[in-house]
A and B are shown apart, each in its own frame.
Chain A
Amino acid sequence: MRPSRDARRAGFGPIQRSEVHATNVEKRGSRSRPRLSDVLCWTALLILLGMSLLPFAMMLLLSLKTNADIFTRFWGLPQPARWDFYREAAVALRGYLLNTLIVTVVVVPGVLLFSSLAGYALARLHFRGRDEVFALIVALMVVPGILTLIPTYALVQSMGLLNTRWALILPYLAGGQVLGVVLCRTFFASLPDELFEAMRLDGAGDFQIYRYLALPLSLPTLATIAIMSTLGIYNDYIWPLVTISDSNLQTFTVGVTRFAGEFNLDYGPTLAGYVIGSLPLIVLFAIGMRAFVQGVTSGALKA
């Protein structure tokens, strides 16, 4: 499993912002480039790619087959293709996916709003203790999820939030901001002072500057943060597992581990469910691949 929200928050490394923006291979113009033997290169790449994607291809193929078809002709094409498995699986997973969606649409805008505000304040406002506050937030990056899992659980329990959506929403909202504030602050600090001074001379207040100057400029950064948050929420397993016991509130990642049993161990509908559960992130990837790539890289680099 990909590291959870907390695990990802835990990583920290040297500040190498340039890397974040240098991943766009296609930007580099042609230049003389050294080459290994082309044939060798292509063969190796295609074999590796094939092996990487085989499990997913088989997931698609087998998701259309009945158990009997799988047992007797594993590699054969489905006959007939059971598209109705997808409907069955969608019905079984609908509630879980909806719960994940609800949490995501509450948390992600919140993370963007709060971390851009705080990032702006820490980059562009002048007040005593500014750098200390920022340092305190950066320090949270070295606090791994494994240290805070149990105390956070006890906290949420004592607040009476167990088995409610708030048990997910509030900690996600808080956790998503560590990286969010750091990225926003770094971005706002990198903007030329003249832009801000010009607006200030026109009589704009800080909230106006934030709203009409900083926010529009930071859209790419915000997209990156949004993708990171969404990924974190979508993939988190342990936290919803321990805080949510009502399956009507449970998220997709926990729900999908339980739904296989509902089909009497029919592999087809189960695998169809895996495909359905993968679609939201694939769509997200297709829409914002650049932000996605930047998101996962910067998540690792942690500015």
Chain B
Amino acid sequence: MNPRRTPIVVVALMLAPTLILLALFNYYPAVLGLSRAFTRWEMGEDPRWIGMGNFVAMWHDEFLRLSLRNLFMLLVANVLKTLTMPLLVAELLMSLRSLRWQYILRTAFILPMVVPGMVTMLLWSFIYDGSVGLLNQVLEAAGMGALARSWLGESATALWAIIGIGFPWAGGLALLIYLAGLNQISGDVWDSCQVDGVSGLKRVWYVDLPLLLPQARLLVILTLIGTMQDFGSILILTGGGPGLATHVPALHMYFQAFRFGHYGYAAAIGLTLFIAIFALSLLNLLWGRRLEKLA
């Protein structure tokens, strides 16, 4: 093909809106996010360069330190959630005889995805309510009324309650991705499994799981990135409390910026979270390469 140069005017007209918007609202803030982390920048004041000052302050910030434990718990729990139940449901759906029912059930399982995230959160705060909450009602109906409590109101259970949101965690994006992955596994592979007498759980373990590794890897990294950044749900459900029981670094950043006016310090927390996310993503890429080589 003969690459003719397109007139520059045409190129400019087509690209200008996108590039201007991205430069202003994406690139500029990103650069600012990197540089302002090294400034003392209080609400209503001009930023002043202080080098690593914010990072030193972070090191000594007891609230931040205590929130790391919660983040770690959430990361582990959310990864486990995404690796288990949706995969189970995907396998169960795939083994249904009727394609029609498979389709109907899949639709039903992803239905909760369509409910606005905020409605889901508010609904779960109602489920965990100490007086008329659904969970307590279920426990009472099951004769376990003694277990009833204000699930988000006690340090002992608050973080677990947050982890429990969406139980049984079966639908959503993960289910769709696993189903896509299972659909990619060629029929021949499963045919030959049947011929070789590899069936049921054995097949799932020896055939499906290794072939689903790319999907699992993707979901793990997405979960890690999402969990590190999400604080809206915690803000709504507990505000980080009681005490610090559900406090996380991203929420700390939000409080520092929008409640206390410490923009510079908050930017430093944001930058640190970005570095952590970036590192995890890189690790994921490297891990992926290694796996490909092994395969």
Contact = CB atoms under 8 A, between A and B. Distances in A.
User: Touch between A and B in complex, CB under 8 Å?
Assistant: yes
Interface string B125-149: 0110000101001000100000000
State the majority secondary structure of interface residues on B: helix
Nearest to A48: B170
Given A70-B132, A253-B116, 6 more contacts: A23-B179, A31-B190, A49-B108, A125-B6, A177-B22, A238-B232
A34 B92 CA distance: 11
B179 A144 contact: no
Contact of B25 (A133, A170, A256, A292): A170
Interface in A1-32: 1-4, 6-7, 10-14, 16, 18-20, 22-23, 25-26, 28, 30-32
Contact of A34 (B32, B107, B199, B230): B199
A26 B103 contact: yes
Interface of B: 1, 3-6, 8, 10-11, 14-15, 17-19, 21-22, 24-30, 32-34, 36, 85, 88-89, 91-97, 99-100, 102-103, 105-124, 126-127, 132, 134, 137, 141, 167-168, 170-171, 173, 176-177, 179-181, 183-184, 187, 190-191, 193-194, 199-201, 203, 214-215, 217-218, 221-222, 225-226, 228-233, 235-236, 250, 253-254, 257-258, 263, 266-267, 270-271, 273-274, 277-278, 281, 284, 288
Given A155-B29, A174-B26, A296-B113, A38 B21 contact: no
A144 to B, nearest CB: 5
A277 B235 CA distance: 20
Nearest to A172: B25
Nearest to A235: B117
Contacts of A205: 10
Contacts of B105: 45, 49
Interface in A141-192: 142-155, 170-171, 173-175, 177-178, 181
Given A174-B25, A178-B26, A18 B184 contact: yes
Contact of B258 (A2, A48, A114, A242): A242
A293 B6 contact: no
B11 A127 contact: yes
A292 B34 CA distance: 35
Given A125-B11, A154-B32, A281-B116, A174 B281 contact: no
Given A151-B267, A173-B21, A267-B126, A32 B183 contact: no
A289 B97 CA distance: 23
B118 A118 contact: no
Contacts of A221: none
Contact of B3 (A114, A126, A171): A126
A44 B94 CA distance: 13
B48 to A, nearest CB: 15
Contact of B132 (A30, A54, A125, A267): A267
A52 B17 contact: no
13 contacts: A10-B277, A13-B284, A14-B288, A32-B194, A48-B85, A52-B168, A52-B170, A146-B277, A151-B28, A181-B18, A205-B10, A282-B115, A300-B218
Contacts of A267: 126, 132
A143 B108 contact: no
A28 B116 CA distance: 31
Contact of A148 (B21, B30, B132, B214): B30
Band of interface residues on A: 35 or more
B273 A34 contact: no
A292 B199 CA distance: 34
A242 to B, nearest CB: 5
A58 B180 contact: no
B22 A178 contact: yes
A274 interface: yes
B138 to A, nearest CB: 8
A133 B100 CA distance: 45
Contact of B274 (A16, A55, A144): A144
Given A146-B229, A146-B253, A120 B116 contact: no
Interface in A66-99: 70-71, 74-75
B18 A118 contact: yes
Interface in A238-279: 238, 242, 252-253, 256-257, 260, 267, 271, 274, 277-278
